[in-house]
Amino acid sequence: MPLAHVRNNDDSLAVDIGRLVDKALVTYGVPVTVEQVEELVDILYPRVIRMRRVAWRTHVVELGRQAAAAGVEIKPEAIRPYPRKALFDAIADVSRLSPDSSKLHVMMLDEDSKKRVMQSVSPDFSNRMDSAVKARVAGELGRRLSRHVVDAGRSAVADAAHNGTARFKSGRPARAGYARVLSGRESCAFCTMLASRGAVYSEDTVIRRSDGRRYHDGCDCIPVLVVDGKPWEGQKEADALYAHWREQTWAGDKPSPAQFRKWAEFISSGGLNTTKYSPFGGK
């Protein structure tokens, strides 16, 4: 199973969960009470669980292929639990159920002028069935739950890489880690920064390891297995990215202050065509 199949499967799951969320909100509206959130959880939870199993299985199969290519055997971990509360919290957060939540910025059609105008609103009983409000919440929730779904597969790679089971055929332990690779589509400053770091091993600092496990809503990066001393998919691109990182955020042989700010400005200015720094070649 080539890595491209994992990317395509992750994309397909993101589309599926997005459609599921959109259909649910079109039918039932944006939940504005705890009871309505619970009802939406009842509808979505079984499908989210099934999709997570698909993501986990797809990434684990690809993990086995990558391990074999590196000449090692590795034991994957069981899929991580996904409690109902995780789904409840995601829905409640995106629906702005908390009193101190930020408002939604939605494009509304003014009936008098017939002009599109941006309005800031809080979902409530008066607008929970409004098409613009439903569309905005559905988009955000779809991206949030896509991350929750695909995370089952991403975590499988990170957990296996760090569980100490990697062995060469001789039985000798292998030093294993994982690296984030870009999808080949447009990638943000945060993702390109992490992709430039290359492999993350179990003995790396807690900060670096936890950063490596972070994926934002809408992120389509993919983790790959890395066996120390063996080539890995995306290595060439990661090395090239790191060269740019050093060029933009280091002064001589030392990191400059506010490295990420400088990197974000560099990326947002169009200084780097991020689609070229992917093992998929921008396809």
Q: What is the DSSP-derived secondary structure letter of residue 72?
A: E
Share of the chain above pLDDT 70, in %: 92
Domain extents in the chain: 1-167, 175-283
Q: How far apart are CA 122 and CA 96, in angstroms?
A: 7
Task: Identify the H or E element spanning 86.
Answer: helix 84-94
pLDDT on residue 186: 80
Taking only the tens place, the pLDDT of each residue in 190-207 is 999 999 999 988 876 444
pLDDT on residue 108: 64
pLDDT on residue 121: 83
Taking only the tens place, the pLDDT of each residue in 66-90 is 999 999 999 999 999 999 999 999 9
Mean pLDDT of 107-130: 74
pLDDT on residue 206: 44
> Hey, which bits of 125-198 come out as E strands?
167-168, 176-181
pLDDT on residue 11: 96
Partnered with residue 15 across adjacent β-strands are: none
The answer to whether the beta carbons of residues 104 and 133 sit under 8 Å apart is: yes
Q: How far apart are CA 37 and CA 40, in angstroms?
A: 5
Nearest to 216 by CA among 193, 232, 199, 238: 193
Average pLDDT, the chain: 91
Residues in the chain: 283
pLDDT on residue 115: 55
Taking only the tens place, the pLDDT of each residue in 218-265 is 999 999 999 999 999 999 999 999 999 999 999 988 999 999 999 999
Task: Identify the H or E element spanning 254.
Answer: strand 254-255
Q: What pTM value is reported for the model?
A: 0.91
Q: Residue 202 carries which side chain, given as an amino acid letter?
A: S
Strands of the sheet containing 222-227, edge to edge, are: 200-201, 176-181, 222-227
Taking only the tens place, the pLDDT of each residue in 92-115 is 999 999 877 888 888 665 555 555
Terminus-to-terminus CA distance in the chain, angstroms? Answer: 18
The answer to whether the beta carbons of residues 256 and 249 sit under 8 Å apart is: yes
Instruction: State phi, psi for 106 to the nearest 5 degrees.
Output: -125, 150
